[in-house]
Amino acid sequence: MHSLFFNPKFRPPHYLGGIFAICALLNIYGVPLTHVFSLIQEINWQEVWQDDYLQQVILFSFMQALLSAILSLFFGLLFSRAFFYQDFIGKPLILKLFSLTFVLPSLVAIFGILGVYGSSGWLANIAQWLELSWRPNIYGLTGILIAHLFFNIPLATRIFLQNFAQIPSQQRQLAAQLNIRSWQFFRLIELPYLQQGLFSTFALIFMLCFTSFAIVLTLGGGPKYTSLEVAIYQAILFELNLPKAALFALLQFLFCFVLFNSASLFNRNVQTALHHKNIWIDSQSRLVKCWQKVMLFLGCSFMLLPLINTFISAMLAGRWLAVWQMQQLWRALGYSLSIAPLSAILAVFISCLLLLLARRLHWLEWQKLANFILNAGATILAIPTLVLALGLFLWLQEFDFSRGHLFLIMVCCNALASMPFVLRILTEPMYSNMYHYEKLCQSLHIQGWQRFRLIEWHHLRSPMQYAFALACCLSLGDFTAIALFGTQDFTSLPHLLYQQLGQYRNNDAAVTAFILLLLCATIFVFLEKVSMNKETYDHTQ
C-alpha cells in the first residue's frame, strides 16, 4: 500500500472521489451495524439456542429458498428448451415481457398472483363454475413458491437460452448424422453448455429468495411461514423487541455474508443478452413438438396471467376518479417519483467514483485491491437492506429526526440496493475506456472532467442511461426500507399498495398496482431502447 501511494502513475488527488466513496460506504455500513451488534449483549444466548421459533425461522428461510431455486431451474430449463426450439408469432415480444419481471415491483406481481390464484381469483371462479369443491389456498409456502417462480423462471430462462445459443451448429449437425436424439442429445450435447452457468444461476436465485421480504411478508400467512427478514420486521413493529430484532439481523447478516462469498466462487459473469444468429436445428418428432408447445402455453400463461389480471382489475375497478382524488395516492406518487431519480443519480455517481479508482488500481496491477473496491459497492448483497435499515433506525433514535431525514435515508438505502446492478453495467465500458484511451490521455495530458467530457462520454452515455433507468425502476418498486420507516405522512406507492392489500381495498389496490406497473413498463421501454442503441453502437466499433 505504501508503494502504491508513492507511485507517480497513481496521482491520489485525481482519485479522492473514489477514496471518499469508500470511506462513506464504510461509515454507512459500519455505524448501523455497530448499533445492531451493541444490542446483542442484552441477549441470553442459552435461551436463544433453545428457542423453537428461531430454529423454525432459520429452517424455513433456507427451505423456501432451496425449493424456489430448484423449481426455478427445473421449470426454467423445460420452458427455455421449448422456447428455443419452437418458433411462433410474438416470440421476441414474449421474451421482452419476461425481461420486465426483473424490474417489476414485488407487490404488483403479488396483486396479480392473488387475482389469479387467490381464494376469490380466476382459478377459484373457474372451479366454482365447474361446480368443484376445490378452492385454492395461496397463503403459506405455496404462495411464496408461486411468487418466487414468477420472478425467477424468466431469469433462469434467459440464462439457459444463452447457453443453448452457444452450442455450435457443427455439433448439432454431427449429432443428427449419428442419430443422437432425445435424452442422449441432451446429455451429450446440451448439458455440457448448460452446466457453465448452472451453479452460478442456482446461487443467484437462492440468494434472491433467501433475502426475499415483500413476498414472504405478504403471502406467508402466519408465523409458521416466516423468514429472517420478516422476523426482523415483526420484532420491531409488532413486538417492539429490539434485542430480538438485532439477533435476527445478526443471523441474517452472517448467512448472507457466507452465501455472498460462496456465490462468488461460482460467478462466471453470466450474460443474459441473446445474440441472434443463424443456428442450425434438426427437425423434431411430432410428439416432441406437441410436448414443447404445451410447455410454452403453460409457461406463458403462468407468467402473463398475473400481468393481465392487474390490467383488467384496474380497468374494471371503477375507482379511477375517486382514487385520483385521494391525497394519500398523490403523496405516495410524489415521494416515489422524488426518491427514485435521486437514488438512481446517487447510485450512478458513487459507482463511477468507485470504478475510477478501481480501474486505475487494475491498470497498476493491484487487482486484489481493485476487486475489493468493487465488492464494497456490492456489499448490500451481503448486508440486506432491512438489516441496514434496522441499524439506521436504532441510530436515529438518538436524534430528533424529521421527514427530511427519512427521505434521505430512503434515497441512501435504495441507492445502495441498486449499486450492484449499476456496477455490473458500468464496469465493462469504464474498464474498456481505460484500456483504449489511457495512453492517449497521458500523451495529451487530458485529465479529470476534460477527459470524461471529450474522450469517455461518447462510450459511457448509453451504459449510464441504462444504469440510471434500471436503478430508478428498482427504487420505484422497493418496499424493504419503506416498510420500516413508512408512515401515513411518509409513504410510497409500494407502501400504499401493501396497506391497501392488507385492508382488502382491492379496487384501490388495483389502480395503485396499475400505476406502478405503468411507470415500470415505461422505464422498461426506455431500457430496451437504450440497450438497442448500445448494441448498434458496439457493432459499429
246-269 tens-digit pLDDT: 888 888 888 887 877 776 665 554
> What is the arithmetic mean of pLDDT over 418-431?
85
Q: Which three cell numbers stand for residue 126?
A: 373457474
CA-based max dimension of the chain? 81
Give a yes or no: residue 297 inside a domain: yes
> What residue spans of 225-326 are helical by DSSP H?
228-237, 242-266, 286-316, 320-324
Do residues 109 and 302 make contact, with C-beta atoms less than 8 angstroms apart? Answer: no
Angle (CA) 99 383 215, round 5°:
45
Give a yes or no: residue 358 inside a domain: no
Q: How confident is the model at residue 536 (pLDDT cuts 50, 70, 90)?
A: very low
Give a yes or no: residue 366 inside a domain: no
Q: Is the pLDDT of residue 535 over 90?
A: no
- 522-533 per-position pLDDT tens digit: 888 877 776 655
Give a yes or no: residue 205 inside a domain: yes
**Number of neighbouring beta carbons within 10 Å of residue 85:** 16
Give a yes or no: residue 511 inside a domain: no
Q: Is the pLDDT of residue 1 over 60?
A: no
Q: Is the dihedral of CA 179, 181, 183, 187 positive or negative?
A: positive
Write the CATH number for 145.
Answer: 1.10.3720.10
Give a yes or no: residue 413 inside a domain: no
Domain that holds residue 311: 49-270+277-317
Give a yes or no: residue 40 inside a domain: no
> What pLDDT, on a 0 to 100 scale, did the predictor assign at position 267?
57
- Helix 385-396 to helix 228-237 angle (10° resolution) is 20
Closest CA to 407 of 419, 415, 417, 395: 415
Give a yes or no: residue 94 inside a domain: yes
pTM of the entire structure?
0.84
Count of domains for the chain: 1
